C-alpha cells in the first residue's frame, strides 16, 4: 500500500513509486530533480536540489524558510526566487537569531530570516554579497564566513568571542579578512567559533573556547587562528556548538571540547581541550557535529552517531545516550550528513542517500524532520 504517496511526494518530478520487501518506499524508479546537499539548523532544515533550487522545512517564525511567510512547515517549501544555488547554510543559535544563507554559482550570497548579527530581516532571500570569488559559505550562531577562490577566509557579524578571527573583538557589518590564514581548503562554523582546514592538512580554529572547542590545549578565547594541537593529517573538520571533530587520513577521528553529553565519542563524559580519538572508529569519511551529539558518515556509506540522545538524534531506535559510536540500523547508501539543534539540548540529524532522498531523525517539535508531522523520531524517516 502506497497510502496515497507518489514520487512527487518525495520531491521528484515523476516516475513510479514502489514498495520494498521491508515495507519502505522504493524510489529507484522516480526521476527528475533530487536533493544534493542538506544543512540541519537550529530548528529548521534546508537542502539544495540538483536544479539549483533551495527547499526548507521546520520552524519559520522568523522567516528562515524563505517562502515569504512566517508559518512553520513540516514538509519542504521552496525558497522563493532563488536558483543556481550550489550551497545552503543554516545559522542562528538563540531566541532571536534564526537565519539561512545560500551561495550561488556566481559567488553571490543571499540570506533570509532574522539576524541582527549578520544584518538580515526578511522572509525572502536578499542579496548579501555581490557576485565574486566566494566558493564556500558557513553560518554560525552570530556570524558568517566565506571561503574565497584565493583560499582566504572572510567573516562578518558579532565578534565578542573573537569568532571573526581578525585580531579584534569588535563586531563588523562588512566582511573582514581572517588574520594570517592562507591555503584554506574548507571552513566550518557553529556557535561562536570557526575552524578551517588548510591544504597542508592542519586545522586552525578561533573564537569561543570555554570548553576547549579550539583544540589548542587551553580554554582561552582566540581572536586569531590557532592551530589544533595535532599533527597535520586531517582531511575534514566540522564545528559543533561547543565541540569540534576532525577526520584523519587513516579513517580515524579526533574530537575536542565539551563532552558532558558524550559528544567526543571516546567512552567518557570528560571534556578535553586537546583532540581525543573517537573509540573504535577506523572508517570515517566525514563528520557532523551537533549541539550535543556527533554523527559519522563511514566509507561503507552507513552512519553512526554518539552523544546526547534525549529525542532520538542518534537514530538508534531509542533515546539512550552513548559516549561511543553506535550504528544506525537500516540506513545505507548515504552520501552526506548534517547535524543541528539547540545548544547542548535537543538536536536532529539528516542524511542524503545516493538516490537523492533526504532522511532525518531526532527533534521534530517544529517539523524540522520534514516528514509531515511534529513527532520526534527515534529512527530515520523520509522527508517528503
Q: Output the pLDDT for position 129.
A: 95
Beta pairing partners, 243:
257
202: three-class secondary structure by DSSP: coil
Q: What distance in Å separates the CA atoms of residue 344 and residue 363, rounded to the nearest whole number?
A: 13
Q: Pairing state of beta strands 222-227 and 322-327?
A: unpaired
pLDDT in tens, 266-302: 999 999 999 999 999 999 999 999 999 999 999 999 9
How buried is residue 188: exposed, middle or buried, by Cβ count under 10 Å (0-12/13-18/19+)?
buried
pLDDT in tens, 14-49: 678 788 776 667 776 777 789 999 999 999 999 999
pLDDT in tens, 345-375: 789 999 999 999 999 999 999 999 999 999 9
Cβ distance 351 to 341 under 8 Å? no
Contacts of 58 (CB under 8 A, 6+ apart): 41, 43, 44, 45, 65, 72, 73, 74, 366, 367, 368, 369, 370
Any idea what DSSP says for residue 9? G
Confidence band, pLDDT 50/70/90 cuts, at residue 7 = confident
Cβ distance 97 to 113 under 8 Å? no
In Å, what is the CA distance from 185 to each residue of 146, 149, 197, 341, 383? Answer: 12, 10, 6, 26, 31
Q: What distance in Å separates the CA atoms of residue 367 and residue 59, rounded to the nearest whole number?
A: 7
Any idea what DSSP says for residue 10? G
Q: Output the pLDDT for position 20.
A: 75
Q: Output the pLDDT for position 251.
A: 98
- CA angle 377–87–354, rounded 5-degree value: 55
Percent of the chain with pLDDT over 70: 95
Please state the rounded mean pLDDT for residues 242-249. Answer: 98
Confidence band, pLDDT 50/70/90 cuts, at residue 1 = very low
Terminal Cα-to-Cα distance of the chain (whole angstroms): 17
Give DSSP secondary structure letters for 288-324: EE-SSEEEEEETTS-EEEEE--TTSTT-SSS---EEE
Does pTM surpass 0.85?
Answer: yes
Q: In the predicted model, is pLDDT for residue 5 greater than 80?
A: no
What does the mean pLDDT of the chain come to?
95
How buried is residue 54: exposed, middle or buried, by Cβ count under 10 Å (0-12/13-18/19+)?
buried
pLDDT in tens, 134-170: 999 999 999 999 999 999 999 999 999 999 999 999 9
Residue 331 zone, left/alpha/beta (φ > 0; ψ -120 to 50; rest): beta
The alpha carbon dihedral of 313, 144, 83, 71 has a sign of positive
Confidence band, pLDDT 50/70/90 cuts, at residue 105 = very high
Give DSSP secondary structure letters for 131-170: SSSEEEEEE-SSEEEEEETTS-EEEEE--TTSTT-SS---
Residue 379 zone, left/alpha/beta (φ > 0; ψ -120 to 50; rest): beta
Amino acid at each position: 500500500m502506497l497510502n496515497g504517496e507518489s514520487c512527487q511526494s518525495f520531491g521528484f518530478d515523476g516516475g513510479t513509486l514502489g514498495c520494498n520487501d521491508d515495507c519502505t518506499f522504493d524510489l529507484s524508479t522516480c526521476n527528475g530533480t533530487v536533493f544534493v546537499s542538506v544543512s540541519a539548523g537550529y530548528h529548521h532544515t534546508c537542502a539544495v536540489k540538483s536544479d539549483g533550487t533551495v527547499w526548507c522545512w521546520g520552524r519559520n517564525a522568523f522567516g528562515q524558510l524563505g517562502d515569504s511567510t512566517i508559518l512553520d512547515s513540516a514538509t519542504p517549501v521552496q525558497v522563493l526566487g532563488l536558483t543556481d544555488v550550489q550551497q545552503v547554510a543554516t545559522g542562528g543559535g538563540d531566541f532571536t537569531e534564526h537565519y539561512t544563507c545560500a551561495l550561488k554559482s556566481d559567488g553571490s550570497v543571499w540570506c533570509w530570516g532574522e539576524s541582527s548579527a549578520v544584518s538580515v530581516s526578511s522572509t525572502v532571500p536578499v542579496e548579501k554579497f555581490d557576485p565574486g570569488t566566494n566558493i564556500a559559505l558557513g553560518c554560525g550562531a552570530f556570524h558568517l564566513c566565506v571561503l574565497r577562490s584565493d583560499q582566504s577566509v572572510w567573516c562578518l557579524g558579532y565578534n565578542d568571542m573573537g569568532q571573526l578571527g581578525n585580531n579584534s573583538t569588535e563586531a563588523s557589518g562588512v566582511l573582514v579578512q581572517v588574520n594570517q590564514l592562507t591555503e584554506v581548503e574548507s571552513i566550518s562554523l557553529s556557535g561562536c567559533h570557526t575552524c578551517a582546514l588548510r591544504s597542508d592538512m592542519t586545522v586552525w580554529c578561533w573564537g569561543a573556547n570555554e570548553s576547549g572547542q579550539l583544540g589548542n590545549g587551553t580554554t582561552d578565547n582566540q581572536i586569531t587562528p590557532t592551530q589544533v594541537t595535532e599533527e597535520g593529517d586531517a582531511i575534514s573538520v566540522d564545528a559543533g556548538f561547543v565541540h569540534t571533530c576532525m577526520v584523519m587520513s587513516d579513517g580515524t577521528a579526533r574530537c575536542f571540547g565539551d563532552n558532558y553529553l558524550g559528544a567526543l565519542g571516546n567512552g567518557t563524559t570528560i571534556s578535553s581541550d586537546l583532540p581525543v580519538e573517537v573509540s573504535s572508529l577506523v572508517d570515517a569519511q566525514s563528520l557532523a557535529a551537533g549541539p550535543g551529539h556527533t554523527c559519522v558518515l563511514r566509507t561503507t556509506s552507513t552512519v553512526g552517531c554518539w552523544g546526547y540522545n534525549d529525542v532520538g538524534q542518534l537514530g538508534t531506535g531509542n533515546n539512550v545516550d552513548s559516549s561511543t559510536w553506535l550504528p544506525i540500523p537500516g540506513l545505507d547508501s548515504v552520501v552526506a550528513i548534517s547535524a543541528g539543534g539547540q545548544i547542548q539540548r535537543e538536536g536532529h540529524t539528516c542524511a542524503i542517500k545516493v538516490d537523492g532522498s533526504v532522511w532525518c531523525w531526532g527533534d521534530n517539535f517544529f517539523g524540522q524532520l520534514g516528514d509531515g508531522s511534529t513527532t520526534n523520531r527515534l529512527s530515520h524517516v523520509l522527508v517528503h
